[in-house]
Amino acid sequence: MGWIRRVALEQTLRHVGRFHVGWSDAMRTGNLMRALLAACLVAASSVGCVTRATYASSATLSGGTPTAQHLPSTGFVTDFADVVRQNGPAVVNISVAHGKPVANLTPLWPPASNEHDPFVRFFRQFSPGRPSDGILSSGALGSGFISSPDGYILTGAQVVAGASQVRVKLTDHREFKASVVGIDPPSDIALLKINAHGLPTVRIGAPSDAKVGQWVVSISSPYGFENTATAGIISSKGRLVPDETYAPLIQTDLTLNAVDSGGPLFYLNGDVIGIEAPVHHSFQGLSFAIPIDVAMRVEQQLQLHGKVEHGRLGLSVQEVTAPLARSFGMAKPVGALISSVDENGPSAKSGLRVGDVILQLNGVAITDSTQLPMAIADLRPGSVVRVEFWRDLGTHEASVMLGAIQGYSLASDVPAQTTVGQIGLTVRCLTSEELRKAGVSNGVRVERSAGPAALAGIQPGDIISRVASPPVSNAAQLRDELSKAGSNVALLVQRDRHPIFVAIDFG
């Protein structure tokens, strides 16, 4: 920089010299100050030009591209390409079929006519195509990712539950028939296996290192569109979503839909921190992911045993807020407040009741209510745990022998489906866990709805518990009661824990 200063000084002296010639004139006209000011501005301008020219020269490569160290830094992430490029090949598309092959269906519109008729050709573009012979009666799409190079794939339990056939498509367009190693509904994790080796895999990260506000990227294959990337931030950690999973979820602001379920959630360094969970209709606009450490523990058990056994206390808990802590006479808001107790469950048998606040489990402090469900679920049924709890302004202890959370172990364990042809329903029995979650003592779950049932508004996932007054617990009972009902029948249907009677007209 020394030569820059010398050049600037020389230019200043030359300009001052020029103005010295007209010194006497300036004195006579009173323009001395303007002359000096002009000289200074010229000098400053000279220095500025040299400095900018020097920067431009040093900030360019031989090809004229600015080097990274001189580019402006805003601190705002705008490029997620490396994450997608490095991990995209390990993300797969999963297609699932239910039921048996059905024959070709004849479209209702346009009406049968000459294929060369312009009227027919015009409306053909708006009509669904004819399915090919042997097509499966229904199907679904989801995403997953390869966890080991020998063909193990992690996805969501709801993606493959009840499937009669599962196929996996890789980004290199290879397709494989997949076997379901195991399904664990309590965690919403499923493990698949394909007959392949040397596959690309993801790198497992640590969800505990996640920070609220941190950038994350989801890669999935919605509707078969491979390597669809969505970016967002972590909105919250440790969200407990009632009746969905025992694991505290990672909440993000990603814009996802149901067919993104099972896709991986990445840090910007490429580590997987979660598996995208289905978007619950009650939380539109929010997205959740199952922490990857929970998924890896489940995967290990599914590989070893084909199923996962989870401990169960038989109670529900909520957060202890500061006002609640004061009302219970507690010094600070800690622990897990029991809000309901299964009267036949392990906790009730050990004397725990609504209003107790669990402070410790096996000597480990419960500082937050989200800790308890995951800690219990990681223990085996039959284990005895020591519980310290707060009641009546003091601490107490109890020993609880854990029960078991009921769930599916293999796809073949899913209750068989039965078609009730006269109203267009396909139903199956409910598991004990489904009965508990739905808050009913009997009923059948609707798997498919068509014909009169669909016209009446019955949807897959609905629970039918009564035909008029008589209760039903299986497909045979439903069929028998419908045969006695005549041309009109009222079904008691429960959807999202809300019961309502639905009238069906067979005519």
Local confidence band at 58 (pLDDT 50, 70, 90 cut-offs)? very low
How far apart CA 249 and CA 294 sit, in angstroms, is 10
Does the bond joining 291 to the residue before it have cis omega, within 30 degrees of 0?
no
Indicate the DSSP class of residue 456.
Answer: T
Instruction: Give the closest residue to 107 by CA, choosing from 123, 85, 83, 86.
Output: 123
Per-residue confidence band for 52, with pLDDT thresholds at 50, 70 and 90: very low
Q: Which residues pair with 477 in a beta bridge?
A: none
Residue type, 79: D
Tens-digit pLDDT profile for residues 66-110: 333 333 344 455 678 889 999 999 999 998 886 544 444 334 444
Contacts of 47 (CB under 8 A, 6+ apart): 4, 8
Q: Give the pLDDT confidence of 308-366 residue by residue, as tens digits.
A: 888 999 888 888 988 888 988 999 999 999 988 888 889 999 999 989 999 999 999 99
Q: Is the pLDDT of residue 111 over 60?
A: no
Quick check: 470 and 443 in contact, CB under 8 A? no
Give 155 or 2, the one with higher predicted confidence: 155
CATH of domain 415-505: 2.30.42.10
Greater model confidence, 462 or 37: 462
d(CA 77, CA 395): 50
pLDDT of residue 121: 52
Instruction: Give the pLDDT mean for 21-36.
Output: 46
* Cα–Cα distance, 12 to 27 (Å, whole number): 21
Out of 208-217, 387-396, 403-412, 436-445, pick the least confident: 403-412
Whole-number pLDDT of residue 192: 94
The strand pair at 311-312 and 384-391 is best described as unpaired
H or E segment at 326? helix 322-327
Buried b (16+ CB within 10 A) or exposed e, 140-160: bbbbbbbbeeebbbbbbbbbb
Strand 189-193 relative to strand 175-184, pairing:
antiparallel
Distance CA 338, CA 344 (A): 15
Determine contact, residues 66/59, Cβ cutoff 8 Å. Answer: yes
Q: What is the pLDDT of residue 478?
A: 83
Averaged pLDDT of the chain = 75
Decide if pLDDT at 398 tops 90.
yes
Judge contact between 149 and 203, C-beta under 8 A: no
Q: Please measure the distance between the N-terminal and C-terminal CA atoms of the chain and give it in whole angstroms.
A: 95
Write down the pLDDT at residue 316.
83
Q: Could you tell me the pLDDT band of residue 280, with boundaries at 50, 70 and 90? A: low
pLDDT of the residue at 62: 37
pLDDT of residue 225: 79
Residue 187: its pLDDT value, please? 87
| Average pLDDT of the residues in 171-187 | 90
Task: State the helix-helix crossing angle for 2-21 and 32-58, rounded to 10 degrees.
Answer: 150
Q: Where are the beta strands (DSSP E) in 173-304?
A: 175-184, 189-193, 203-204, 215-220, 228-239, 249-252, 264-266, 271-276, 287-291
For the cut 70, the answer to whether the pLDDT of residue 122 exceeds it is: no
Q: How far apart are CA 404 and CA 406, in angstroms?
A: 6
C-alpha distances in Å from residue 387, one per residue of 328, 367, 417: 18, 14, 42
H-helix or E-strand spanning residue 38: helix 32-58
Q: Which residue has the higher pLDDT, 202 or 163?
A: 202
Q: From CA 152, how far away is CA 410, in angstroms rounded?
A: 15
Which pLDDT score, from 0 to 100, does residue 93 have? Answer: 92
Given a contact cutoff of 8 angstroms between Cβ atoms, the answer to whether 220 and 155 are in contact is no
pLDDT given at position 438: 80
User: For residue 133, how many other CB atoms are within 10 A of its CB?
Assistant: 9
Indicate whether 2 pLDDT > 90: no
Between CA 100 and CA 240 the distance in angstroms is: 37
Residue 308 CB neighbours (<10 A): 27
**pLDDT tens track for 220-234:** 877 777 788 889 999
Q: For the domain made up of 311-404, give the CATH fold.
A: Pdz3 Domain (2.30.42)
Taking the C-alpha atoms of residue 331 and residue 322, their distance in angstroms, rounded to an integer, is 9
What is the pLDDT, as a whole number, of residue 470?
80
127 contacts 109 by C-beta, under 8 angstroms? yes
pLDDT at position 159 is 86
What is the CA 264 to chain-centroid distance, rounded? 8
pLDDT at 383 exceeding the cut of 50:
yes
Class of domain 83-308: mainly beta
Q: How confident is the model at residue 284 (pLDDT cuts 50, 70, 90)?
A: low
Amino acid at site 440: V
Phi, then psi, of 77 in degrees rounded to 5 = -75, 130
Beta strands in 227-373 (DSSP E): 228-239, 249-252, 264-266, 271-276, 287-291, 311-312, 315-319, 336-341, 357-361, 364-365
506, 416, 500, 415: which is closest to 458 by C-alpha?
Answer: 500
Domain ranges of the chain: 2-69, 83-308, 311-404, 415-505
The per-residue pLDDT for range 236-264, each reduced to its tens digit, is 887 877 556 778 889 898 877 655 688 99
Is it true that 311-404 and 415-505 share their CATH fold?
yes
